[in-house]
Chain A
Amino acid sequence: MSVKAIVDRCEALFEDLNFQAVKDWKAAAPGRKAIGYMPVYVPREIIHAAGMLPVGILGGGDQLEVIQGDAYYQSYICRIPRSTIELGLTGRLDCLDGMLFPSICDVIRNLSGMWQILFKDKYVRYFDVPQEYRDAVGGAYYVHELEILRDDLGRLRGRPVTDDELRAAIGVYNENRRAIRDLYAFRARTPWLAPTAEVYLVLRAGMVLPVDEHTRLVRDYIAAASAADRPRRDNARVVVTGVFCEQPPLGLIKSIEMAGCYIVDDDFMLVTRWLLEDVPETGNPLEELSRAFLHHSASTSAKYDARREDKGKFLLEQVRTRGAEGVVFAAPSFCDPALLERPMLQDVLAKHGIPYTAFKYAENTGQMAPIREQAGTFADSIKLWSAA
């Protein structure tokens, strides 16, 4: 398959606010169920093990007209919960049999309760994760939370989820994570061959496709993009951070790259890369998932840094391992986690002499010119700075 064919398919999936792919998957066999989840992280392995399709819900993007959703939110609250409610109230999420709301901020947390009220016939769960990282304390709590999810989904399916099913699911997700690690490494090595707008769409496809199909898609893309003949430009290499929940419009991602930046790492859809290492496919599966979470997971502002010196460590690693020259802080307007985290991360970067720039966006941001301007100036200044 050509790069274009793969990307076109991903873009069609991305633009489809009616989730036809999910409906098709469900229709292919009787009794199939789909479970939606919001950013940043849920253990999709458990959903998969229950024979269900995990579906990532990342808001409505810039093509959805939000009417009913706006009726539930004040102007000072970010956009993703409005468009998500709009998707729900307009029936676009009817194909989902349940929704998981991970612990990310007060807005998404409260949205879980709103969902319980608005969609009474659906399975709804606020999925809390530990902010304490010892196996006997946070781990014990987390394993119990995982068990609840496993039991709930087993009930929903009508048959308990077995350890073997879980171990198998861990296996296919390990595969997926490996493919995505390769994709990120590939982009960082040759960013001109893998523009982020494409990488993004390939990742987004994983929000609605079954995991094994997505893994193949990622592999296919890497193969096709590696073979493509694309010119290398003299762009600055940057890490984009802050985009872990509400998504910027695709046009904004393109704008950053058009303005002269190669995005070599980011925090888009962290669920695909949250667990940094393979999860053991033997032993007690829930305990393994818990250990992976506690000791080998990514960092984001929704997660507590147990020690002061941990702050910014993950971002610094991204910069170092990807050979980035600067960091772009892109935060959704009114995003408490991203905006409160930002000054600390900026301070860490400043201490390490890493340049950065910052702006805010909304998923339906319409004006790209200021962002192009800013990203362009940033790219130029990086080049001047490195030449000096």
Chain B
Amino acid sequence: MRCFIGIDLGSTTTKAVVIDENQNVLGRGITNSRSNYDTAAAIAKQEALVNGRFHLFRQALASSGALNGSLEGFLAQLERDFRLEQYLEQLADLEATCQRNVGTAKFGDAAKGVTAALEEVFRRLSAEAPRLFAPGANRKSDFFRDIAGSQYLAVGETVAKEAGVRYDFLLNVFDRSIIEVENRVYGDSIRRHLLDALERTFRALPETAGRRDAVAEPIRGILDVPMEETYVIGTGYGRARLPFSKEHIRSEILCHGLGAHVMYPGTATVLDIGGQDTKAIQVDPHGIVESFQMNDRCAAGCGRYLGYIADEMNMGLHELGPLAMQSTKNVRINSTCTVFAGAELRDRLALGEKREDIMAGLHRAIILRAMSILARSGGIRNEFTFTGGVAKNEAAVKALKELVAENYGELTLNINPDSIYTGALGGATFAWRAVVEEGKVAERREKA
């Protein structure tokens, strides 16, 4: 089947979206942006394609009725099992890489001990793996680096102590190996992993085993249909580093505008507040950008400002919004300058203002900056779509609603829980338009 893919290379995460010929979203994928953007793009794309496969599984199984009533439970188990399979392969790869790197490390006589310790560490990691992907297991991150890293640190310390090996040797080997492993794509293993995962799932859910053929058949059928990468569009800050020709690259402003339009076709104005910048975009009824403004060189009022405040208050970034929501009083914070804000914050605390009131004031200050950028781009028109990490912050949304109402009256505010994929969705839609509307054909290029 023909697939149209958008990849958004952000500074911290890389996102991909796959849509089909009818512009339905098939799948979304996300990974951490690494030093190697090619890999990040390849992995995000692969994740989106896998996610797309699951979407197709769901469709097929739902229409066949083979898992009536237990479809979602089955697919959830299948996905966990698939992640486990992937994790185990990467773990094996990591072990092999670590062992290889011991050979080139200058550990002298200790090398032998390190080798043995590594074997033990990975034996334990493999044994623990199923627990990590069990139902209800709480993983802080889905990225291999994060999961394997935290496990390795914990297990490695114990093993090092028991075996009398220097812990820092183990860390050294890990640090050198993880980058290599992280930058491999394992694209050829997907089908195998899915089929192996299917077996695991039948074992985990014995009640479905009786319907084995009715379930496995459509899944195999879908796996046999290639998801053809008909056209790919790259966007985001890292887009220039993608191995794509110019034809396959769009600025994130354009993609963002179009993505917001696809999510909410009535969108006229888009506000995106991300970690690094704030964008205000005006789009026409076809999602084409009419004008845009970004925060100037000064980072005042972007997501990063909140991160700075969180550090200053010794809080987690996600705790700021809820704290601000408890505010009962307006405190005016005038500095959106990250440098001055810290000083103003301490001043306010010293004056006895409550933390929640100050927090609410800070959120309002950020949104005020955004309001200026919006005004610069031509104001807010109905409908108004808010995207980016800060759109998940309830205090920021509250402040935005108030200020929009005060300055522009009542209008529709759209916030999509998947707004992180807005740019990638715009990219995928551009890919679709390029082929379906403009009759373009993907250029031959090196496989990423």
Contacts and interface: CB of A to CB of B under 8 A. Distances in A.
Interface stretch (B55-63, B268-276, B344-352): B344-352
Contacts of B332: 62-63, 65, 366
Contacts of B346: 367, 369
Contacts of A67: 368, 371-372, 375, 403, 407
B333 interface: yes
B296 A75 contact: yes
B334 A366 contact: yes
B154 interface: no
A71 B373 contact: yes
Contacts of A175: none
A366 B335 contact: yes
A367 B375 contact: no
Given A70-B369, A70-B375, A368 B347 contact: yes
Given A62-B334, A63-B332, A366-B333, A75 B371 contact: no
A68 interface: yes
Given A75-B297, A369-B343, A65 B333 contact: no
A367 B372 contact: no
Interface string A42-65: 000000000000000000001101
Interface string B401-430: 001000100000000000000000000000
Given A67-B372, A70-B372, A369 B347 contact: yes
Query: Main SS of the interface on chain A?
Result: loop
A66 B375 CA distance: 11
A74 B297 CA distance: 9
Contact of B334 (A74, A365, A370): A365
Contacts of B297: 75
Contact of A367 (B335, B368, B371, B403): B335
A366 B407 contact: no
B340 A366 contact: yes
Interface residues of A, number: 20
Interface in B280-317: 296-298, 300
A364 interface: yes
A66 B296 CA distance: 17
B376 interface: yes
Nearest to B343: A367
Contacts of B369: 70
B334 A369 contact: no
A75 B298 contact: yes
A175 B161 CA distance: 90
A67 to B, nearest CB: 5
A369 B335 CA distance: 14
A370 B343 contact: yes
Contacts of A74: 296
A68 B297 CA distance: 19
Interface string B343-375: 110111010000000000000000011011111
Which of A62, A70, A364 counts the most chain B CB atoms within 10 A? A70
Contacts of A368: 347
Contacts of A71: 372-376
A67 B405 CA distance: 13
B368 A65 contact: yes
Contacts of B298: 75-76
Contacts of B340: 366-367
Interface in B56-104: none
A172 to B, nearest CB: 38
Contacts of B296: 74-75
Contacts of A70: 368-369, 371-372, 375-376
Nearest to A69: B372
A65 B403 CA distance: 11
A361 to B, nearest CB: 11
A63 to B, nearest CB: 7
Contact of A75 (B300, B347, B407): B300
Contacts of B403: 67
A106 B347 CA distance: 34
A367 B358 CA distance: 13
Which of B334, B372, B373, B407 counts the most chain A CB atoms within 10 A? B334
Nearest to A67: B371
B28 to A, nearest CB: 34
Contacts of B376: 70-72
Which of B346, B373, B376, B403 counts the most chain A CB atoms within 10 A? B376
Contacts of A370: 343
Interface in B235-255: none
B351 to A, nearest CB: 9
A76 B376 CA distance: 16
B142 to A, nearest CB: 38
B440 to A, nearest CB: 38
Nearest to B345: A367
Contacts of A366: 332-335, 340, 344, 347-348
Contacts of A365: 334
A251 to B, nearest CB: 10
A364 B334 contact: yes
Contacts of B343: 367, 369-370
Nearest to B371: A67
Interface in A338-388: 362, 364-370
Interface string A308-331: 000000000000000000000000
A368 B346 CA distance: 11
Nearest to B340: A367
Given A67-B371, A67-B372, A369-B343, 12 more contacts: A63-B332, A67-B407, A70-B369, A70-B372, A70-B375, A71-B375, A71-B376, A76-B298, A366-B334, A367-B343, A367-B344, A370-B343
5 contacts: A67-B403, A75-B296, A366-B348, A369-B343, A369-B346
